[in-house]
Amino acid sequence: MQISTSRLGRSLATACLCASLCATVARPALAVEVGGVKLDETVQLASRELKLNGAGVRYKVIFKVYTIALYLPEKKTQLADILALPGPRRLEIVMLRDITSDELGQAFMQGLKRSSDQADRTRLLSQTMQFGAMFEMVPGLKKGDILTVDWLPEEGTLCKLNGKQVGDTVPDLAFYNALLKIWIGAHPADTMLRAHLLGDMA
C-alpha cells in the first residue's frame, strides 16, 4: 500500500506539532513554594537573569509576617561572596499579614542599626534617611502585597510596591549591602531565615 508524499508530509507535521504541544504541557513550572507563596526560580532584572538564591519566612513570635526571597546573578552561600557579586540583585518581600508603614519602617531601621557598625551608619546616614522617607509614602502593607528592593548597577537601590516605584533610587552599593546584612549579616533578624536565604532551603 502506498501513501502519497503530501499525505505523509501532513502526517509528519501533525505528529511534530502534537509532540511539541505535549512537551510544553509536560514542562514543570519553575517555581518553589515558601510560606504558602509561590516564588519564581528565576527573574529578569536589568537585562540579566537572576536565580533564586534562597527564601524563608520571617516570624514575629509565632506569627508569619512575610516571605522573603533573595535573587542573585549566581548562587552563593557566603555573605562576602554575595556582597562582591557584580550585577543586579533583588530582595522580594511578600506580606503574609497586614502591617502599618511605621512598623515596616521601624523594622528596616532597627535592622540597619543591628547589622551595621557605627562608622557605616554615619557614612550612610543620608541614604538611610532617604530610604526611611519612602515609608511615609505608603499608608500600609496588606497581606499579599509584594515589595521588591532591587540593586540596579547603573541606577541604585530601587523599591517597588506591587510593581509601582516608591520613592527615588538610592545610588550607593554600600547602602544596598547594608540592607542585605539585615537578613544575611553577622547579626541577622533571624538566624534560621539567614540560613534559608543563603541557600539552605530545608
Task: Provide the mean pLDDT of the chain.
Answer: 86
The whole-number pLDDT of residue 13 equals 45
Q: Is the pLDDT of residue 15 over 50?
A: no
User: Residue 42's beta-bridge partner residues?
Assistant: 51
Computed from CA positions of residues 93, 115, 192, 150, in that sequence, does the dihedral angle turn out positive or negative?
positive
Q: Which residue has the cell 509561590?
A: 38
H or E, element range at 183 = helix 173-184
Beta-bridged to residue 67, according to DSSP, are 57, 94
The Cα–Cα gap between 185 and 178 comes to 8
Give percent of the chain above pLDDT 90. 69
CB half-sphere exposure, 10, CA atoms < 13 A: 4
160 CB-near residues (< 8 Å, 6+ apart): 147, 148, 150, 166
Q: Which of 8-22, 43-57, 132-146, 172-186 has the lowest mean pLDDT?
A: 8-22
Q: Give the rounded percent of residues in the chain with a pLDDT score beyond 70.
A: 85
pLDDT for the residue 33? 96
User: What pLDDT digit, counting tens, does each position of 65-82 carry?
Assistant: 999 999 999 999 999 999
pLDDT confidence band for 21 (50 / 70 / 90): very low
